[in-house]
Amino acid sequence: MAKMTGGDLLVQCLAGHGVKYIFSIIGGQMCSVYEAARVRPEIALVTLRNEAAAPVMAGGYAAASGIPAVSMCTVGAGVVYEVAGLMDAWMSYLPVISIAPQVQSWKMKPHQENLQGMNQDEIFYPITKWNAIVYHWERIPQMVARALREARANAPGPVHLDLPVDVLFKTGKPSDKKMRELMPPPETTRFSGALPGTEDEVKAGIEAVRAARRPVALIGQAMGTAGRYEQMAELLNAAGLPALTARSSSSAMSGKDGCFAGPLGLFMESGTGRAILEQADALVVVGIDPEIMDALKALTGFGGTTVQVEVDPSAVLTGRAKHVGVNADPVSFFKRLDAGEGRWKEWAGKVREAREAIVADEKKNIPDAALYEGLALAVKDDDVLVVDGKAPARAARALLANNRHHRLFIMNHRDMAGPGLPFAIGARLALPANPVTLITDLDSLMRHPQELKTAEGLGLDVRIVVTDPGRDQRHARTEAVLGGLGCEINTLRPGTGPDREKRKRPSAWLVQ
């Protein structure tokens, strides 16, 4: 084997594990990585305009494809800028691999005073599942394999690797035998088979669900999404169990799934929704996350049984009355749930009726209800929808969540501001055959408008519906800014949707 730099070794390992994209800001410390990516056609380097957008774009790709992607930023200041975007991946359970160069290994821990040097690993500790410093060239394959395994194991999430510049630029000549030892095939880096659970736990959980007359499934932790138990919707449909999705699983179900009753947040913010959940005699929790945990705490009138199905045994709740914990994967669990045809048909109808009542109330408070109704008519089965901004997210949750679409991703305004555009670009790269539409307010769009140039450079036709262009001076200013960044400007009348014409650059649709 010829001599190779640490950057060569890093890129070869990433490509060997199926990573297809590196999203990065240009920096001198990563030149060996850029050169290696340039000569490897199986992995693409996408250069962005802002460090915070890199992990969001990588997250959009991972969410739409189920394949981890890499976010890479420069040492010091670049790392700080990346934190907000990586926090978004952390809150959304997305397997993003964050990689950053570091100062020379002999200047670290404790840090010698030098430009941009800091304890980067400590910055990432609270918002990653796992992080490490690669002190030696030969450990790159091992650390890449570990990072990918940690990112996808149990509840997925971001991980981080620090690579000192002397490690990245060091050259060496590993033997073929050594490379095989250090870089096992991708399928061996994590367990991907069924986790059927112990017989006693599974039997207790199945019996508790079957005994229920009014069960509701709460789906969180990105369960049922791309690359993460995608059979969930099919199995829930077969069981006839009404299901509500947390935000992290917003893309798991749609109106084409008969069991889908709507988003959990829509129910929890409504008296009607909370009342129907408190009438339930069983809540089947699949992948507990902060939103579901808050719901369980808020449903003070619920007196039924909680059946919790978790891949990670440490996430199983303890100390709750009438609680059955099952350490198993949800597909194995629901395959054994022979509910019997029509067992919960009447109850599922009542849950959907409650949703219709909630939506009717919500529409009274949505200024652009006609806009969303028009979008609902324009959406096809193969469409991918990304929604960003507080008002658009609330409106889409009520008026678009039950529509027929390929995937729906609703951004959380409590996290990083304005992740929608870079996320939509990442999703478009992952799903080249599917139309991707971003529905956003102007303030959210203007957080990362420079990424329009990234989309234009890649020839991506992301469609952007701007729900509040301001109609007057703001409208003209919006056209000037977006047009100057290479975006085609169109007018959208309320009650209609954007056309499906294929383009080679992003297009914005401003409400008339």
Whether the predicted pLDDT of 378 surpasses 90: no
CATH superfamily of 199-363: TPP-binding domain (3.40.50.1220)
Whether the predicted pLDDT of 138 surpasses 90: no
The whole-number pLDDT of residue 188 equals 55
Whether the predicted pLDDT of 356 surpasses 90: yes
Model's pTM, two decimal places? Answer: 0.93
Q: Are 475 and 77 in contact (CB under 8 A)?
A: no
CA nearest to 307, candidates 208, 211, 199, 195: 208
CA nearest to 299, candidates 270, 320, 278, 279: 278
Classify domain 4-188 by CATH number: 3.40.50.970
The whole-number pLDDT of residue 213 equals 94
CATH superfamily of 369-511: Thiamin diphosphate (ThDP)-binding fold, Pyr/PP domains (3.40.50.970)
Please provide the average confidence, as pLDDT, over all residues in the chain: 88
Q: Are 156 and 315 in contact (CB under 8 A)?
A: no
pLDDT > 90: what percent of the chain? 53
The whole-number pLDDT of residue 1 equals 62
Q: pLDDT tens-digit profile of 173-186?
A: 777 776 666 666 65
Binning pLDDT at 50, 70 and 90, where does residue 212 land?
very high
Parse the chain into domains and list their residue ranges: 4-188, 199-363, 369-511
Lowest mean pLDDT among 28-32, 122-126, 225-229, 388-392: 28-32
Three-state SS annotation for 302-322 = CCCEEEEEECCHHHCCCCCCC
Binning pLDDT at 50, 70 and 90, where does residue 201 land?
very high
Token representation of residue 89: 């991946």
Amino acid (1-letter code) at residue 232: M
Mean pLDDT (whole number) for 6-35: 89
CA nearest to 153, candidates 116, 186, 190: 190
Tell which wins on pLDDT, 414 or 204. Answer: 204
Q: pLDDT tens-digit profile of 425-445?
A: 999 999 999 999 999 988 899
* Residues paired with 244 in a beta bridge: 218, 262
Edge-to-edge strands of the sheet including 215-219? 260-263, 243-245, 215-219, 282-286, 305-310, 323-327
Mean pLDDT (whole number) for 465-472: 70
The whole-number pLDDT of residue 173 equals 79
Rounded Cα gap, residues 438 and 420, in angstroms: 7
Dihedral angle over CA of 182, 187, 189, 190, nearest 10: -170
Residue that is written with structure tokens 């919790």 in the block:
308
Q: pLDDT tens-digit profile of 287-304?
A: 999 999 999 999 999 999
The whole-number pLDDT of residue 313 equals 87
Mean pLDDT (whole number) for 363-375: 86
* Residues paired with 57 in a beta bridge: none
Rounded Cα gap, residues 204 and 307, in angstroms: 9
Amino acid (1-letter code) at residue 362: E
- Residue 509 backbone phi and psi in degrees, to 5: -120, 110
Mean pLDDT (whole number) for 349-376: 90
Rounded Cα gap, residues 414 and 76, in angstroms: 26
DSSP state of 127: G
Same topology between domain 4-188 and domain 369-511: yes
Q: Are 50 and 28 in contact (CB under 8 A)?
A: no
Residue that is written with structure tokens 């992301």 in the block:
462
